[in-house]
Amino acid sequence: MKTCHTVVGLGNPGMGSTRHSVGMAVVAALSGRLGVSESWRGDRHVSGEVALCELGDTQLVLLRPRVLMNLNGISVAKAAAKFHIQPEHILLVHDELDKPLGKFSLKKGGSARGHNGVKSCVECLQTNVMPRLLIGIGRPAEKALVNHHVLGRFSREEQKVLSNVLEQSVDLLLSQLTTTDLQNFPKQVNSGHVKRKDVCVQHSSLPPGGTKSSVPQTDLELHCSPLALQICENPANRTETALQCSSPTEQQEGLANRTELELPSSKCPEDKSTTQT
């Protein structure tokens, strides 16, 4: 019987080109490498988009939640229940403020360290054993600029670095999924670094003779997701944290001025948006 694993790109729906949603860009790149980039489909039962494939003896579920970052755990928990996936076989990919752009690493479980998407997953799954791939986005010098930074888009120069980060992080994910049980890899692996000056890639985890492949950049353009459009079209669904579907600039500024919902610490909140997707 095949073991089922999932790789989840944490982020905000419709904001795939922002730093905060870089996890979704990594999972999109992974789907391209696996040849299933055209297989994404919305699944209201998991409040997200899924793409399925087989990787050796592993049944792989790729997931992009269609709920806001601080509610991503709802989607992850639903997918785990539907596909019978154990928490230790759920790999979360997300942004990391304390790593500069160009660096990424694997981490075996542990605390959320202030990341609301991870916090939501921990609360909804009631465990923190999920392995993670942390993608560095850098931290601004002033604390007041953090919201604008994480919800901002990568610059043209940064996208050159990001392109290589996506490629090399996919190499790392595939090496872990094909050669190692996710729950057995080291607690912390400093996995990769991309030089920003000349956009050269240094990666200690690539297998000898490993080859590079082109990565589709489908998630690097800001767009409004179906869920975001639905929220905007239905006034009854608008809240202080709803995505505003106007221009990209207005959308970005609107999100930057909003704080994410605080999840109750006792249990995972019920998701009411899935009945409308």
Catalytic (active-site) positions: 20
CB-based contact 5:61 (threshold 8 Å): yes
Give the Cα separation of 66 and 44 in Å (integer).
9
**Structure tokens, 201:** 């890639």
Q: Which helix (H) or strand (E) holds 250?
A: helix 248-256
Q: State the amino acid at position 122 in one-letter form.
A: V
Specify the long-range contacts of residues 165-168, CB closer than 8 Å, at least 24 apart.
165/101, 165/102, 165/104, 165/135, 165/192, 165/194, 166/25, 166/26, 166/29, 166/215, 166/217, 167/29, 167/201, 167/212, 167/213, 167/215, 168/104, 168/192, 168/194, 168/201, 168/203, 168/206
- Determine contact, residues 121/37, Cβ cutoff 8 Å: no
C-alpha Rg value of the chain to the nearest Å: 17
* Residues in the chain, total: 277
Which residue, chain included where needed, has tokens 């009411």?
A: 272
Residue 154 has phi, psi (to 5 degrees) of -65, 140
* Per-residue burial over 246-274, b = 16 or more CB atoms within 10 Å of its CB, e = otherwise: eebeebbeebbebebbebeeeebbebebb
Residue 243 exposure: Cα atoms within 13 Å on the Cβ side? 26
